[in-house]
Chain A
Amino acid sequence: MSQPVPASAPVWHRATGFLAVGLAVALLAIAGCTPQAGQAGQVDARVSSAEPFTWDPAQAGDAGSASVLAQVFEGLTAFDPQGNVQPALAASWQVSDDGRQITFGLRPGLSYSDGQPILAQHVIDSWLRLIDPARPSPLASLLGDITGAPDYLAGRVGRDGVGLHAQGEGTIVVDLRRPATYFLAVTASPSLGVVPPSILGAIGEVPPTVVSGAYRPIIGDAGVIHLTGNPSYWAGLPALDELDLVTDFGGRNGVDLFSSGELDYTGLSAADEPWVQYDPTLGPQLRNTDSLSINYYGFTTAVAPFDDAQVRLAFAEAVDWQHIVSVAGGVPATSMIPVGIVGRDEQDHQPAYDPEDARALLAAAGYPGGAGLPQIVLTTYGVGFEETVAIELERNLGVEVTVEALDFQDYLEQVGGDPRPQIWTLSWIADYPHPHDFLGLLLETGSGSNTGRWSNADYDALIEQAAATADPAEQAAIYAQAQDILAREAPVVPVAYDQSFALSRTGLLGALESGVGFIRYAGLDWAPGTGR
């Protein structure tokens, strides 16, 4: 904290270190920790961006990497600004009557940025990389609905055992083990972007030199990724074909960079949003960018003591989740399905705050007052409500919880590794806007994204049933039943929905986040009379 003083005295400035709410920490972490901005050269637009952990779509498992890779590698379908699925590399598709086979037809004359043709087999090869048993993707479960995919991933069958077939150069046939109503949306995931075979040997740490998407990335000045338009892109050269993605602010604030014209689009800290909404210049450029995401806590259920549902439920009921989120200015979650997903119901599926019952459950599990429990560690990546949760658990259960914070990348490795943390936290942004992306991918038995390795046959049966039905009401009712099981078993606790803001320059068209956490830069343009 500091104070301003009259201009005649030494000049003062606000101090850093104040955060109004816990949620702001995450946003500041994104905005402030990013590296230094380069010089604003002659580009069409400059936007703030995450720096991808990897340039390999098959190895990316975080939203920040996906937001960049989505510009570079194109999928068969894509999300429009409203989050709807639209044709991308695929011109058309047909679904069999039983819903178990989808036939995609590529657009004619597709080519990579180097002019080489994009072929159906390349799509299949790219997808198979996600379920390569030798190096599976963190999001391998995206393809879990394809016949044979789980078996290939487990090493039980070879590539030929996977229900993916190329017919000629332009047709891909996908066999599904169940009529997954959401599979067209799955194919819009950045993870399923088509990777040119010519770069497969060098993909990962360095930006790709050949792309299937709208832009080719070039590492520019420190903290800047330059995107140059791909003239071979299926939709033509993007309207804004020279972009700078600024990944490094050099300790400066995104608002300051936006105000000075060094950024045309930037995420905004929740702590800055209150004043920006009233600012005569910035207020009209303020955008709400809530994503379809859920912040949740989970337990690793394969190991004691959290292999016992009573213990999990005791921990879940001992924390007043609604209170700790709402008092911090967040949006409390009532289910694992974020607001805005078709098929979400308005029921409260979160375990009720009931310390007395929590204590009884813990005692019934053989740990009265927490006696006999091993050391409990809550592992996090340094944001969220962890310290508050630990305090409430100690107060209401008598259990001392150690909070350990890791760097995000290390954290991802730990929650995806073995053994896994006892209690962990994740934020999950929709790969595709459907309940299955949350209830299926995150919690179905054997799913690679099922961090806690929870398994429940009744739950699995319901998820299978929901995936097989076409009736929205029936599907919603089944998902509600599945969530009742979650509330009883508490493998995870939904905590908060996303509340995000951005600043977007007046005249910048198409800077709309589709709910899956990124903007399609190929859809950007400047309104007449505006621009850099």
Chain B
Amino acid sequence: MTALRRLAIALSLSVALVGALLPGVTVAAEPTFGTPSVTATLGEPITFSSPVSGDDIAAVEVLVRLVGDATTIVIQAQPAQAAGTWQATQSIDIGTSALCECLADGNTAPNTHFEFQFRVRAADGSTSVGPVGQGVVNDDRFEWRTIEQGLVRVHWYNGNDAFAQSAADVANEAIDRASELLGTTLPQPVDLFVYDTQQALLEAVSPNRENIAGQAHQAIDTMFVWIPADQGADAFAGEVVRHELTHLVFDAATDNPYREPALWINEGVAVYLSVGYSAYYQSFVDGAVADRSLIPLDGLAGLFPSPPDQFYLAYAEAVAAIDFFIRTHGEPKLWDLVRSYARGLTDDEAFSATTGVDAAAFNAAWFASLGVDVPAPLGPQPGPTGPLPPDWQADGQTPGPSARPGESPATPGPSATPRPGQPGGADPDALTRTVAIIGWLLAVVVLVALIGYLLVQRNRARRPPQGW
């Protein structure tokens, strides 16, 4: 209970006492809350509802928290059609655990567990909260079966028990391997949802995207994969599961409130532990070395490139760089590097602490080992200027006080304003100043005329006049 709330209640009690003595004085009652409910349907915003009543309701809000997340999302509720009921709708972005819908493309992902409660704001700003409700977004298009083994709960709907068992085995092996190397394990079991068609997966997690076959989300300790039932946990499916689970262990090992490691390290480790620096990936790197299109590692720190060829190259470079790191410094150093990120270090700090050289030096050494120079960035570049109205001063100076545009090359900023005036009294320098101003204005007129002429010539050279 907040101090404000306590104060409000104390005042209410005081007023109530006075009210008992003074007929006609009414007292606002505490709001009352009914049982809150929620509709969480896959593909639609979540709808929260609750009966709320009271005399002093300035606003009604819904507080929503992802289970395990610190941030409370606050949504404004509105009166619903049913009298006395308030309602709010919202999608939850599990990527940021905040309000933006961009990462989930307008969907709240399946298996998103959340708590919620309604809050009333009174006119004086004091608040009252109702009972806590719980909800989860279910993908109820399928009859899910579940097995739990070790740190994995496998949810699947097509295929036999052996199919799910093999997926669980692969998943636990992957967790064990990554945990051993990274020195940590998952804090709690993860959910592995297996879809047997890509379409079903896309509709669940990313309806506006193409070519997605798996996603891992640390925020909800869940991974979604597409594995046709007839493939079982064969080499390909096993690779997928290992890759995604490595991400979850990696995230647990590097978790800190300040930043995430460069993406190439995260993906490189995931590929390294799931399939290694295979001939497939080597072919991408070899090709990029041959045509000098290798992307420096600082270019792979954020998102990977969109164009498909560069996208696959990015993964190949990531695992190639990890492979180079291990060949140079040994595998134990790699895991030291990964774990150092848990201290909230930058890439440079983490590399320097682990290897004695920063990330740029590591990149340079890797490029040198491949016989290529590190390219310079091609951007950002300054943008070209466009057409300006003819009476805009080409040098872009700020017109100052006492200046008429086109008459004065006034000084930008504060110096353009005259000092506070000295009204009254003779000014012995007036004549000198007048002469100077006339000379100055003449010079300016000539300058402006020249600039205007040049501008006109330039515009003529570019394109027909457009009415400037």
Residues of A within 8 A of B (CB): 1-6, 9-22, 24-25, 28-29, 31-33, 77, 80-82, 84-87, 91-99, 102, 179, 181-182, 184-185, 235-239, 250-253, 255-256, 259, 269-280, 282-288, 304, 323-324, 326-329, 342-343, 374-375, 379, 381-383, 386-388, 390-391, 402-407, 410, 418-419, 434, 468-472, 475, 501, 504, 508-512, 523-525, 527-528
Determine which of B4, B216, B280, B302 lies in contact with A275 in the assembled complex, contact meaning CB atoms within 8 Å. B302
- How many Å from the CB of B252 to the closest CB on chain A? 13
Question: In the complex, are the beta carbons of B306 and A256 less than 8 A apart?
Answer: yes
Question: In the complex, are the beta carbons of B239 and A3 less than 8 A apart?
Answer: yes
- A95-B418, A375-B2 are known contacts; what are 11 more A-B pairs with Cβ within 8 Å? A2-B216, A3-B214, A97-B421, A274-B301, A275-B304, A277-B378, A278-B296, A329-B259, A404-B71, A512-B385, A523-B386
Closest 10 CB pairs of A and B: A510-B386, A236-B467, A283-B378, A32-B102, A286-B379, A95-B401, A251-B208, A382-B98, A419-B125, A181-B417
Q: How far is the CA of A282 from the CA of B307 in the complex (A)?
A: 11
Q: How far is the CA of A39 from the CA of B462 in the complex (A)?
A: 30
- How many Å from the CB of B442 to the closest CB on chain A? 19
Set of chain A residues within 8 Å of B383, measured between Cβ atoms: 287, 504, 508, 510-512
Q: How far is the CA of A10 from the CA of B382 in the complex (A)?
A: 42
Question: In the complex, are the beta carbons of B258 and A324 less than 8 A apart?
Answer: yes
**For residue A28, which residue of chain B has the nearest CB?**
B102
- How many Å from the CB of A246 to the closest CB on chain B? 15
**For residue A303, which residue of chain B has the nearest CB?**
B4
Question: In the complex, are the beta carbons of B417 and A5 less than 8 A apart?
Answer: no
Give per-residue flags for B245-289: 1 if the beta carbon is below 8 A from chain A beta carbons, else 0: 001000000000111101100110011001000001000000000
For the complex, would chain B's binding face be called helix, strand, loop or mixed by DSSP majority? loop
Question: In the complex, are the beta carbons of A472 and B414 less than 8 A apart?
Answer: yes
| B312 part of interface (Cβ distance < 8 Å) | yes
Question: In the complex, are the beta carbons of B103 and A391 less than 8 A apart?
Answer: no
Determine which of B236, B300, B385, B392 lies in contact with A274 in the assembled complex, contact meaning CB atoms within 8 Å. B300
| B135 part of interface (Cβ distance < 8 Å) | no
Of the stretches B10-18, B73-81, B146-154, B443-451, the one at the interface is B73-81
- How many Å from the CB of B280 to the closest CB on chain A? 6
Set of chain A residues within 8 Å of B101, measured between Cβ atoms: 33
| B105 part of interface (Cβ distance < 8 Å) | yes
Q: How far is the CA of A434 from the CA of B412 in the complex (A)?
A: 10
Question: In the complex, are the beta carbons of B3 and A33 less than 8 A apart?
Answer: no
Set of chain B residues within 8 Å of A94, measured between Cβ atoms: 402, 404
Question: In the complex, are the beta carbons of B466 and A406 less than 8 A apart?
Answer: no
| Contact flag A279-B388 (CB < 8 Å), given A9-B236, A99-B420 | no
Set of chain B residues within 8 Å of A181, measured between Cβ atoms: 401, 413-414, 416-417
| Contact flag A275-B257 (CB < 8 Å), given A9-B236, A403-B71 | no
- How many Å from the CB of B99 to the closest CB on chain A? 5
Question: In the complex, are the beta carbons of B70 and A403 less than 8 A apart?
Answer: yes
Set of chain B residues within 8 Å of A272, measured between Cβ atoms: 302-303, 306
Question: In the complex, are the beta carbons of A10 and B258 less than 8 A apart?
Answer: no
Set of chain A residues within 8 Å of B307, measured between Cβ atoms: 259, 279
Set of chain B residues within 8 Å of A11, measured between Cβ atoms: 211, 213
Set of chain B residues within 8 Å of A29, measured between Cβ atoms: 96, 100, 102
| Contact flag A17-B95 (CB < 8 Å), given A1-B244, A99-B421, A259-B307 | yes
- How many Å from the CB of B69 to the closest CB on chain A? 9
- How many Å from the CB of A273 to the closest CB on chain B? 7
What are 27 A-B contacts with C-beta separation under 8 Å?
A1-B270, A2-B212, A2-B243, A12-B211, A14-B304, A17-B215, A25-B100, A29-B100, A31-B102, A80-B392, A80-B396, A81-B396, A87-B405, A93-B404, A95-B401, A179-B418, A179-B420, A181-B417, A235-B389, A275-B299, A275-B300, A277-B299, A287-B379, A342-B414, A402-B72, A406-B73, A509-B384
| B346 part of interface (Cβ distance < 8 Å) | yes
Set of chain A residues within 8 Å of B403, measured between Cβ atoms: 95
Within residues 197 to 247 of chain B, which ones have a CB less than 8 A from any CB in chain A?
198, 206-217, 219, 226, 236, 239-240, 243-244, 247
Within residues 373 to 394 of chain B, which ones have a CB less than 8 A from any CB in chain A?
375, 377-389, 391-393
Question: In the complex, are the beta carbons of B103 and A28 less than 8 A apart?
Answer: yes
Set of chain B residues within 8 Å of A434, measured between Cβ atoms: 413-414
Question: In the complex, are the beta carbons of B397 and A255 less than 8 A apart?
Answer: no
Residues of B within 8 A of A (CB): 2-4, 63, 70-76, 94-96, 98-106, 124-125, 198, 206-217, 219, 226, 236, 239-240, 243-244, 247, 257-260, 262-263, 266-267, 270-271, 274, 280, 293, 295-296, 298-307, 310-312, 314-315, 344-346, 375, 377-389, 391-393, 396-405, 412-421, 423, 462-463, 466-468
Determine which of B95, B198, B263, B412 lies in contact with A20 in the assembled complex, contact meaning CB atoms within 8 Å. B263
Question: In the complex, are the beta carbons of A381 and B306 less than 8 A apart?
Answer: no
Question: In the complex, are the beta carbons of A284 and B378 less than 8 A apart?
Answer: yes
- How many Å from the CB of B182 to the closest CB on chain A? 15
Question: In the complex, are the beta carbons of B95 and A525 less than 8 A apart?
Answer: no
Q: How many inter-chain contacts with C-beta < 8 Å in the A-B complex?
A: 385
Set of chain B residues within 8 Å of A386, measured between Cβ atoms: 71
Q: How far is the CA of A470 from the CA of B417 in the complex (A)?
A: 5
Question: In the complex, are the beta carbons of A469 and B311 less than 8 A apart?
Answer: no
Set of chain A residues within 8 Å of B398, measured between Cβ atoms: 84-85, 184-185
Q: How far is the CA of A10 from the CA of B4 in the complex (A)?
A: 58
Question: In the complex, are the beta carbons of A3 and B270 less than 8 A apart?
Answer: yes
- How many Å from the CB of A312 to the closest CB on chain B? 17
Determine which of A10, A81, A236, A255 lies in contact with B468 in the assembled complex, contact meaning CB atoms within 8 Å. A236
- How many Å from the CB of A353 to the closest CB on chain B? 14
Determine which of B213, B293, B386, B405 lies in contact with A525 in the assembled complex, contact meaning CB atoms within 8 Å. B386
Q: How far is the CA of A343 from the CA of B107 in the complex (A)?
A: 47
Set of chain A residues within 8 Å of B400, measured between Cβ atoms: 95, 184
Question: In the complex, are the beta carbons of B216 and A239 less than 8 A apart?
Answer: no
Q: How far is the CA of A255 from the CA of B301 in the complex (A)?
A: 17
Determine which of A25, A80, A278, A342 lies in contact with B299 in the assembled complex, contact meaning CB atoms within 8 Å. A278
Q: How far is the CA of A510 from the CA of B396 in the complex (A)?
A: 14
Question: In the complex, are the beta carbons of A95 and B417 less than 8 A apart?
Answer: yes
Set of chain A residues within 8 Å of B267, measured between Cβ atoms: 1, 3
Set of chain B residues within 8 Å of A304, measured between Cβ atoms: 3
Determine which of A16, A22, A255, A523 lies in contact with B209 in the assembled complex, contact meaning CB atoms within 8 Å. A16
Determine which of A99, A342, A390, A404 lies in contact with B401 in the assembled complex, contact meaning CB atoms within 8 Å. A99
Set of chain B residues within 8 Å of A288, measured between Cβ atoms: 380
- How many Å from the CB of A429 to the closest CB on chain B? 18
Set of chain A residues within 8 Å of B208, measured between Cβ atoms: 250-252
Q: How far is the CA of A386 from the CA of B312 in the complex (A)?
A: 35
Question: In the complex, are the beta carbons of B302 and A274 less than 8 A apart?
Answer: yes
Question: In the complex, are the beta carbons of A99 and B72 less than 8 A apart?
Answer: no
Q: How far is the CA of A508 from the CA of B385 in the complex (A)?
A: 9
Question: In the complex, are the beta carbons of B468 and A259 less than 8 A apart?
Answer: no
Question: In the complex, are the beta carbons of A2 and B214 less than 8 A apart?
Answer: yes
Set of chain A residues within 8 Å of B104, measured between Cβ atoms: 16
Q: How far is the CA of A278 from the CA of B294 in the complex (A)?
A: 9
Question: In the complex, are the beta carbons of A84 and B397 less than 8 A apart?
Answer: yes
Question: In the complex, are the beta carbons of B386 and A524 less than 8 A apart?
Answer: yes
**For residue B69, which residue of chain A has the nearest CB?**
A387
Q: How far is the CA of A93 from the CA of B73 in the complex (A)?
A: 50
Question: In the complex, are the beta carbons of B377 and A278 less than 8 A apart?
Answer: yes
Q: How far is the CA of A28 from the CA of B396 in the complex (A)?
A: 33
| Contact flag A259-B387 (CB < 8 Å), given A236-B467, A405-B98 | no
Determine which of A12, A19, A182, A342 lies in contact with B212 in the assembled complex, contact meaning CB atoms within 8 Å. A12
- How many Å from the CB of A439 to the closest CB on chain B? 13
Question: In the complex, are the beta carbons of B414 and A3 less than 8 A apart?
Answer: no
- How many Å from the CB of A337 to the closest CB on chain B? 12
**For residue A10, which residue of chain B has the nearest CB?**
B213
| Contact flag A471-B262 (CB < 8 Å), given A278-B296, A406-B74 | no
- How many Å from the CB of B462 to the closest CB on chain A? 7
